[in-house]
Amino acid sequence: MLTVRVYVTLKPSLLDSAGRTVSGSLQKLGYTELKGARIGKLIELEVDSYDEARVREMCDKLLANPVIEDYRIEAPETVTA
């Protein structure tokens, strides 16, 4: 079994309201060095074998909204424990 990690984030040009809320809250807690935060998703897929084209297809069809989100795939050979 192999683990493929998919990181999904909002496109940089879009307002990340959740990230803005987290950033403001952390600054109010005294973390004044913080200049911003963006929130994303990590999806771990357990697969029998790795096929990048198939994983991209999964991302494009379900895991990410290509209109507003970008994604990055971390292939099994680059995954560290």
| Residue with the two structure tokens 């200049």 | 35
CATH architecture type of domain 2-78: 2-Layer Sandwich (3.30)
pLDDT of 37 higher than 70: yes
What tokens were used for 47? 């697969």
**pLDDT tens sequence across 61-72:** 999 999 999 999
d(CA 70, CA 72): 7
Q: Is the CB of residue 23 less than 8 Å from the CB of residue 39? A: no
Q: Beta partners for 73?
A: 6
The phi, psi pair for 29, rounded to 5°, reads -80, 0
> Looking at residues 65-81, what average pLDDT do you find?
83
pLDDT of res. 2: 94
**Annotated domain spans of the chain:** 2-78
Q: Indicate the pTM of the whole model.
A: 0.83
Model confidence band, residue 76 (pLDDT cutoffs 50, 70, 90): confident
pLDDT of 52 higher than 90: yes
